[in-house]
Structure 1
Amino acid sequence: MANPSKAKGTSWESLIVGYLREHHNPGARRNVQMGAKDIGDIDGYYLHALEAKAERTITLSDYIAQANKEAIHAGQPFGCAVVKRRMKGVGDGYVVRDLSTDVRLMNRLRDMEAALAGENSELYEALDEQHREVA
């Protein structure tokens, strides 16, 4: 690839897809660029349009604006950027969204958990235990 920046971005996208396939969704894949109606760089991150960024200068406001716009185009309720952390592996990258998006996500999670806990407390408790990890 003649453009080193594009090669770096493509490599970052591929690393994210590999990580998502192993830890989240085996069907994760890179998206074909759609121009003005771009739907994000990666498909398969549940409920999200995902924008991958591996740049020397980090501009969070631009990344979030782009991710939110692409979420609308993709028909997803949430947008986020996955920003490469220098000198670290893919699992150490930053997932970034604005506070209003995060609050909507947390409200959805809270409401869905309350519904599951009320409907099937044994399943809720088993899933809660399975997904609890200390940072």
Structure 2
Amino acid sequence: MANPAKAKGTSWETTLVAYLREHHNPGARRNAQMGRLDIGDIDGYYLHATEAKAEKTITLSSYIAQATKEAVHAGQPYGCAVVKRRMKGVADGYVVRDVATDVRLMNRLRDMEEALQDVGFDRWYALDKQHRETV
């Protein structure tokens, strides 16, 4: 690839997709770029349009603006940027969203957990225990 910055970005996207496939969603994949109607770099990070960023200079505000716009195009409720941490592996990267988006996500999580407790407390309890043990 003639453009080293593009090659670095492509490598990060590919590595991130492999991680998501192993740990989150086997159907995760890279998206084709669609210009002004872009839907994010990666599909398959649940409920999110995902921008993958591997740049020397990190500009969070532009990443979040881009991810938020692309979430609308993708029909997803949330946008986030997954930023590569220099000299670290994919699991040490950062998932970044603005506070308003994070609060909406946490409200959804809270509401869904309460609903699950109401209809299947034993199932909720088992899942809660499982996720607490992975910390």
> Which interval holds the TM-score relative to the shorter structure?
over 0.9
CA apart distance, 1:130: 1.1
Give 2:72's aligned residue: 72
Q: Deviations over 1:39-83 (max 9, x none)?
A: 000000000000000000000000000000000000000000000
User: Alignment identity in percent?
Assistant: 78
Structure 1 length normalisation: TM-score?
Answer: 0.98
Q: Which runs of 5+ in 2 are unaligned?
A: none
- CA distance in structure 1 between the partners assigned to 2:131 and 2:43 by the alignment: 23
**Is 2:63 the counterpart of 1:63?**
yes
Q: Deviations over 1:75-128 (max 9, x none)?
A: 000000000000000000000000000000000000000000011100000010
- CA distance in structure 2 between the partners assigned to 1:60 and 1:133 by the alignment: 31
CA apart distance, 1:131: 1.1
- CA distance in structure 1 between the partners assigned to 2:128 and 2:100 by the alignment: 25
SS at match of 1:102: helix
**One-letter amino acid of the counterpart of residue 109, structure 1:** L
Give 1:100's aligned residue: 100
- CA distance in structure 1 between the partners assigned to 2:12 and 2:6 by the alignment: 10
Q: Which runs of 5+ in 1 are unaligned?
A: none
Give 2:112's aligned residue: 112
Aligned residues: 135
Structure 2 length normalisation: TM-score?
Answer: 0.98
**One-letter amino acid of the counterpart of residue 77, structure 1:** P
1:7-86 matched pairs, under 5 angstroms = 7-86=7-86
CA apart distance, 1:134: 6.3
SS at match of 2:128: helix
**One-letter amino acid of the counterpart of residue 25, structure 2:** N
